[in-house]
Amino acid sequence: MALFGAKGGPHESESHALETRPFADDAPLSASRRIVAAILLQDMQTRFGRSYFSYVVAVAWPLSHAVFIMGAYLLVNELAPVGDDPAIFALTGALPYILCFYPGRTMPIIFLQNRQLLNMPVVRPVHIMASALTIELLTGSIVLILILGGAVIGGVDIVPHDLTTASVAVFATLFLGVGVGAFNVICTAVVGPFYLVFYIVSMIGLYITSGVYVPTWMIPESTRRFVEYNPLFNLVEWMRSAYYASYDPDLVNKPLVLGTATVALFLGLLGERFLRNKFYV
């Protein structure tokens, strides 16, 4: 009789177990979120120093790079080859490069700086990758806001005629950046830090052939057939199609950009699963 007490006996216990089971199942996910958040906060504090001012430097680096690219272009070119404002032409060329290049370069650096955390049993390589991906998306968004805000303060009309196209182009750029970044983490773990030299040289080559400084129709046909396979070239075209009617968004090879980003991210996650032993020192 004691098994069937005043509160419903075994039925009460069974109901309570069913109610609490989802919370128990969520425990590993909650633990992973806390680990990723802890790594993220540590990286923000220690990347360039011992305080959160370190993260200010992390934001200022790509921001100053973008300002330098735009400033150098405006110093040499008083007239834009397309449109009325050379600042917009420079902006739409610099943004895709900066928002793509820095996540791809910085995510492996975050991995290298936090590699010793893998000596802790609860930390896995995917935690460091997730933290790096999150912080680079945050950094890219902050850099974008600061660049656009600075342009507005400088009297530049940054509003595109097609806001949707511009927004999707920015999203695609960040997606490619973190996808390549995840792939670069694996390559850095396998090959070593010198892989980053190869990546930087490759990105410089892609930047030079991306049409940042010249409109599409000024590129010779024989050359354009090759540069059309450059994801960065397509991102610049995609961004400029939101501002200039002479740029047709339908001619942008969007499947190439999104496919490259997806494959790179997939290979990064696949490498984390099957090459996990390469992450440990």
Low-confidence stretches of the chain (pLDDT beneath 50): 1-24
> Mind listing the pLDDT tens digit for each residue in 38-58?
989 888 888 777 777 888 888
Q: Give the separation between CA 85 and CA 79, rounded to whole angstroms.
A: 7
SS3 of the chain: the string is CCCCCCCCCHHHHHHHHHHHHHHHHCHHHHHHHHHHHHHHHHHHHHCCCCCCHHHHHHHHHHHHHHHHHHHHHHHHCCCCCCCCCHHHHHHHHHHHHHHHHHHHHHHHHHHHHCHHHHHCCCCCHHHHHHHHHHHHHHHHHHHHHHHHHHHHHCCCCCCCCCHHHHHHHHHHHHHHHHHHHHHHHHHHHHHCCCHHHHHHHHHHHHHHCCCCCCCHHHCCHHHHHHHCCCHHHHHHHHHHCCCCCCCCHHHCCHHHHHHHHHHHHHHHHHHHHHCHHHHCC
The dihedral sign for the CA sequence 7, 8, 9, 10:
negative
What pLDDT was estimated at residue 14? 39
CA-based nearest residue to 269, from 191, 175, 181, 202: 181
Q: Where are the domains of the chain?
A: 61-279
